């Protein structure tokens, strides 16, 4: 039986992970759960799955939870998160916390030689070389949980990398793919949160609307699979049935198809190298009216292009890109800036950055802090 900790257990990926575990009770046991402030749902998860340890964001939430549950160790803050990630009983950590908060506990889990199911893009976007060096040094199994990267992982498995010419990530295009350009300037938060295919948290949903989510995935794929940026392409695929493709040296393509459901890549990560039976409904090809693909419009969605810019800049540039985006998305959600201000502000901050090599996590945090301070300065001028 595989023993699992879930970082971000009350988010969309965390809940889907528990759905998989619920369906296969003889295969997995939940040892640790961690969340931000959704104490009510965490309490329900504790009562059902009986973990040994849980962590919440703040001490007040932890105190409240201690009064309401028994038989589980309740922790708080970064220390609590790290303890859930490195608990000695744990075999695999599902890293599903949204944003930069996922970096440290994921890195600590790798240092503790835990297998990682990675749904937190920011871990590699912020510190890709550092994290992957530690993965190799420790001999840790790291399996991507994003549907696109899981698809690439499966297409590339046991394949000679010298025979692979390109990695091709697909993107749904988000809710504004066909929106008239003049309407883009008055997009509301409610409209941006209405993704046509996936049901996700607020931050990742806004990222999908700007195509920054795909930009982060390009950076993640670069570090995860060790392919240069110019060999990673993005295509818009509104049906979201083809999750990724690889192009081989002879010009042929290999694609991964399934119904759009996160339980597929989650189950694959949890059970690897085995496959669980009947995780998803079958992909009925005869019912697919069409599979369409188109180039992304970088004028309408410039955030996607910033991935390639940051990778060319190197070093801390991807860290700065991530921090600037997090700040801009939060400002948009709070009504401080408009939807179209997001890429403008990000580009201004990225252009002002002088990248430095990343040797330690301190280098990452220094760049992250610089970007957040720069954002506040830029915001005053908008």
Q: pTM of this prediction?
A: 0.93
Residue 198 pLDDT > 80: no
Class of domain 2-144: alpha beta
Rg of the chain, C-alpha, whole Å: 20
Crossing angle, helix 341-352 and helix 303-313, to 10 degrees?
10
* pLDDT over 90, % of the chain: 84
Which has the closest alpha carbon to 339: 223, 229, 191? Answer: 191
For the chain, domain boundaries: 2-144, 147-305, 314-382
Residue 86 pLDDT > 70: yes
> What is the pLDDT confidence band of residue 194, given thresholds at 50, 70 and 90?
confident
- pLDDT tens track for 90-135: 999 999 998 889 999 999 999 999 999 999 999 999 999 999 999 9
Residue 304 pLDDT > 90: yes
More confident call, 86 vs 284: 86
| 136/33 Cα distance (integer angstroms) | 26
Q: What is the architecture of the domain spanning 314-382?
A: Orthogonal Bundle (1.10)
Contact (CB, 8 A) for 103 and 129: no
Token pair for 153: 């992982």
For 252: left if phi > 0, alpha if psi spans -120 to 50, otherwise beta; the answer is: beta
Q: Cβ neighbours of residue 219 under 8 Å, at least 6 residues apart?
A: 121, 124, 125, 128, 307, 310, 311, 318, 321
């Amino acid at each position: 039986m595989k023993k699992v900790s879930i970082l971000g257990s009350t988010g969309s990926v965390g809940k889907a992970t528990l759905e998989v575990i619920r369906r296969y009770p003889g295969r997995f046991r939940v040892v640790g759960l961690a969340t931000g402030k959704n104490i009510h749902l965490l309490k329900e998860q504790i009562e059902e799955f009986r973990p040994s340890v849980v962590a919440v964001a703040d001490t007040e939430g932890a105190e409240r939870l201690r009064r309401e549950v028994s038989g589980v160790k309740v922790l708080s803050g970064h220390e609590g998160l790290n303890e859930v990630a490195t608990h000695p009983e744990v075999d695999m950590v599902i890293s599903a916390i949204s944003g930069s908060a996922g970096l440290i506990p994921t890195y600590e889990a790798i240092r503790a030689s835990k297998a990682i199911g990675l749904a937190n893009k920011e871990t590699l976007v912020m510190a890709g070389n550092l994290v992957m060096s530690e993965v190799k040094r420790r001999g840790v199994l790291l399996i991507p949980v994003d549907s696109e990267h899981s698809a690439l992982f499966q297409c590339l498995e046991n394949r000679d990398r010298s025979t692979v010419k390109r990695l091709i990530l697909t993107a749904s295009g988000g809710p504004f793919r066909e929106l008239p350009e003049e309407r883009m300037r008055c997009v509301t938060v409610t409209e941006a949160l209405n993704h046509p295919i996936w049901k996700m948290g607020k931050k990742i949903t806004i990222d999908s609307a700007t195509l920054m989510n795909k930009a982060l995935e390009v950076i993640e794929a670069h570090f995860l699979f060790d392919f240069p940026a110019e060999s990673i392409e993005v295509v818009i695929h509104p049906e979201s049935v083809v999750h990724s493709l690889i192009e081989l040296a002879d010009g042929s393509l290999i694609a991964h198809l399934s119904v759009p459901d996160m339980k597929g890549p989650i189950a694959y990560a949890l059970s690897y190298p085995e496959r669980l039976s009947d995780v998803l409904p079958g992909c009925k090809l005869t019912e697919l009216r069409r599979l369409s693909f188109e180039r992304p419009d970088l004028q309408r969605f410039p955030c996607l292009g910033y991935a390639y810019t940051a990778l060319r800049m190197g070093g801390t540039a991807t860290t700065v890109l991530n921090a600037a985006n997090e700040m801009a998305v939060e400002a948009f959600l709070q009504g401080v800036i408009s939807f179209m201000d997001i890429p403008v502000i990000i580009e201004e901050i990225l252009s002002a950055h002088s990248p430095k090599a990343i040797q330690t996590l301190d280098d990452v945090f220094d760049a992250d802090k610089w970007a957040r301070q720069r954002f506040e300065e830029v915001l005053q001028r908008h």
